[in-house]
Amino acid sequence: MRGLVAGVLGVIAIAAVAGACGGSAKATDDGGVGPTCGSPLAPGAGEATYYDATGAGNCSFAPSPDDLLVAAMNVIDYGTAAWCGGCIEVTGPTGVVTVRIVDKCPGCAKGDVDLSREAFELISPLSAGRVPITWREVACNVSGPVAYQHKDGTSEFYTAIQIRNHRYPIAKLESRDANGAWEAIPRVDYNYFVPADGLGPGPYALHVTDTRGHVLEDLAIPFGELETNPGAAQIPVCP
């Protein structure tokens, strides 16, 4: 299978994709998979405000000083970190901007988005403070494969894994149990997948499903506290 990424830790992985409508496709030369795509998440409408963003927030991503086109999603649409790492295109009174969701906004009504200052000024003068918007899911502009981030304090008894560098929001993460069956890992509010009893010392066989129905399968992701390990492939941009 082409497009396999050999990580510095010798990750051995296989990537596959299954579309929401039952289609599938081989990996492409650039490490992507597809082209089958399911329906996007529902669009939204509400009001935008702004804040002094760093790129960090409730989604537990690291600060991104070179990429501050980010936003906090209202707590209703945020759910249990459902939008973390996904991107939306926001249309305001004077422009359009694409932002990555990195935080939640507890004081925002459903449909509202709290934009970084840098993003807000691309759709409205800052002096407006609060403006009407519409927004929809779009692909994030990423390169390279998805990545698996292990949380601090992770051990064979307490495993916490986050998916990073993905094009569309992540719907589900599964691990393969001792009997070879895929078992869903619960997601927590701060955007890690945390099984009740840990996953053991690794390496881990993991199954990632995004909100468009694509599936990535990585069969040997190594364990390492605070380590970021590359997966085998990246999801393509849906038409």
Instruction: Record the pTM.
Output: 0.84
- The answer to whether residue 237 sits within a structural domain is no
Q: Do 129 and 92 belong to one domain?
A: yes
CATH number, domain containing residue 28: 2.60.40.760
Among the listed residues 174, 209, 170, the one whose alpha carbon sits nearest the alpha carbon of residue 191 = 170
**118 assigned to some structural domain:** yes
pLDDT band per the 50, 70, 90 thresholds, residue 30 = very low
Dump pLDDT digits (tens) for 139-156.
999 999 999 999 999 888
Average pLDDT, the chain: 87
pLDDT of residue 36: 66
Is the model's pLDDT at 70 over the cut of 90?
yes
Domain stops at, among 76, 106, 138: 138
Asked if residue 65 belongs to a domain, the reply is: yes
Q: Give a yes or no: residue 193 inside a domain.
A: yes
Tell me whether residue 101 is in a domain.
yes
What is the C-alpha separation between 197 and 207, in angstroms, rounded?
Answer: 18
